[in-house]
Amino acid sequence: MTATTRNQILDYLQAHETASAIELAHAMGMTIPNIRHHLAALLAGQAIEVVRPSSRAGRGRPTYRYQLIPRLMPHNLDRLCLALLETLLAGYPEAEQKVVIQRLVDHLAPRQLPGSAHLSQKLSQAIQELNQMKYQARWEAHADAPRVYFNHCPYQAILPGLPALCAIDSALLENLTGLPAFQATQIGSARSCLFYIGHSPKLS
């Protein structure tokens, strides 16, 4: 619930640019102290920042507004990355492109040894690593298989031109957990990317 609430706050700020704690509490049907708790966590994680408080006549707490951390400088990294990856993968037949992508993933997240930790610990550690890569990820326990959700795709800007990038997500999960990862849904066709860890119920 905590991760979902904070993702909702981030989504709201993305849609409305700025908001106060009162506005967020009203929009989400939560108490103001509860919203302020989540805002403090997002501030500590450097996901949002405080906008200069609006001036108020008289006494009382100033009205703070919050916004996502802005990009400090414009960039052209999305087009550069797309050009680099297209050039790299163009030198390999389609059957070998997965091997190249796996090499890239090994640089992003070295492979974990199977059985080196309890599954819940592996998944929690994996989520921490993935969120440092801006995936806004979370995991849930289920009777059939643990499920991992990505609420943000950090490669969305170049994904339409290079759909093979979806293989990066599965490979990252496999490296971080030491278990197979099966993608069930994708952002665009669904609200989040969904992965089954260990095995896919659809295949069992």
Q: Where are the domains of the chain?
A: 2-68, 77-197
CATH of domain 2-68: 1.10.10.10
Contacts of 177 (CB under 8 A, 6+ apart): 112, 119, 122, 123, 126, 197
Helix (H) or strand (E) holding 139, with range, is: strand 137-140
pLDDT at 79: 87
pLDDT at 167: 87
Over the stretch 54-71, which tens digit does the pLDDT of each residue have?
555 455 667 889 988 865
Calculate mean pLDDT across residues 86-94. 88
Calculate mean pLDDT across residues 11-39. 92
Longest pairwise C-alpha distance within the chain: 70
pLDDT at 112: 76
Amino acid at 31: T
Mean pLDDT score of the chain, rounded to an integer?
85
Between 87 and 2, the more confident residue is: 87
Among 29-43, 59-73, 100-114, the range with the most confident prediction by mean pLDDT is: 29-43
| Rounded-to-integer distance, Cα 13 and Cα 21, Å | 11
Structure confidence at residue 170 as a pLDDT band (50, 70, 90): very high
Is residue 108 over pLDDT 80?
A: yes
Question: Which ranges of the chain would DSSP assign to H, the alpha helix?
Answer: 2-16, 21-28, 32-44, 77-90, 94-108, 119-132, 166-177
Calculate mean pLDDT across residues 133-148. 92
Structure confidence at residue 134 as a pLDDT band (50, 70, 90): confident
Residue 92, CB-side half-sphere exposure with 13 Å CA sphere: 13
Residue 63, CB-side half-sphere exposure with 13 Å CA sphere: 11
The rounded Cα 91 to chain-centroid distance in angstroms is 30
Overall size of the chain counted in residues: 204
Indicate the angle between helix axes 94-108 and 166-177, nearest 10 degrees.
Answer: 50
Side-by-side strand order, sheet with 193-197: 137-140, 147-150, 193-197, 181-185
Token reading at 78: 């999305």
Over the stretch 145-166, which tens digit does the pLDDT of each residue have?
999 999 888 888 888 778 778 8
Taking alpha carbons only, the member of 190, 192, 94, 178 closest to residue 147 is 192
How distant, in Å, are the alpha carbons of 89, 152, 157, 180, 183 from that of 81? 12, 18, 10, 27, 23
